[in-house]
Amino acid sequence: MGLPVNLIANWVKYRNKGGKFNDKLAVRKIFGMTSQLFDHLDSFIIFPEKLVVAFRPAVEHSSPKTAGRFKCDTIFHPAYVTKGKPGEFMLEINNTDSISLLKIPGIGPVLASRIIRYRNLLGGFYAVTQLNEVYGMNRENTPAVAACLTVNRSNLKIFNINFSTIQELGRHPYIGYRTARKLLRLRDKKGKFLSADDLSSVVAPDSLTRLTPYLKFTQ
């Protein structure tokens, strides 16, 4: 994220001592946080949804031994979310929310939040396999998760690389600030980019392949 080491240390130290952030103002008050850094982070900060605990019978009360037993489910208010099986339902990955993602076996609250956050950074998913890039995603579980998801590419957020700022380019997971600076220098030197090939001297081949669906070059 481009944060200075002293700010990271203060952030982690506060959290390790039991400190929690209830709103963005609390993040703004971290020692070492400047207005410029906060503006850079602002759009990426999310807070967990409020959790509600619901109790329901764990089993059918077929015998005195099981009567009265309850299972505790942690769910997201206001919707009661139950786990489904692959193929029982389909979600469009670029329109769904974290609550709906919890219906998919293998996806819990933390992973659901990470998927939504990464989707926002990318500008949407153009392939379900991009979920493998989400921290904490188990590759062995990806096929089962993919069976519950569809992708609508029309929902991608396309950006014009000829007019994008260093902040806009640097925030994208397939670019980063180091490459963004190189791109701007190349653009200033040679003029507007006409195709993805014009980026090949700066962007690594693998990253360029993944990045291309998000790019447009027209004025």
- What is the SS3 string spanning 8-51? HHHHHHHHHCCCCCCCHHHHHCCCCCCHHHHHHHHCCCCCCCCE
Q: What is the pTM of this model?
A: 0.59
Average pLDDT of the residues in 101-128:
92
d(CA 156, CA 126): 7
Q: Which domains does the chain have, with CATH numbers?
A: 5-42 (no CATH), 80-155 (1.10.150.320), 159-216 (1.10.150)
**Burial, 106: exposed, middle or buried (Cβ in 10 Å; 0-12, 13-18, 19+)?**
middle
Highest mean pLDDT among 69-78, 118-127, 148-157 belongs to: 118-127
- Percent of the chain at pLDDT above 90? 42
pLDDT tens for residues 138-186? Answer: 877 788 888 889 998 888 999 999 999 999 999 999 999 999 999 999 9
Burial tier of 219 (Cβ tally within 10 Å: 0-12, 13-18, 19+): exposed
**Closest C-alpha to 174, from 156, 147, 148:** 156
pLDDT band at 70 (very low <50, low <70, confident <90, very high): very low
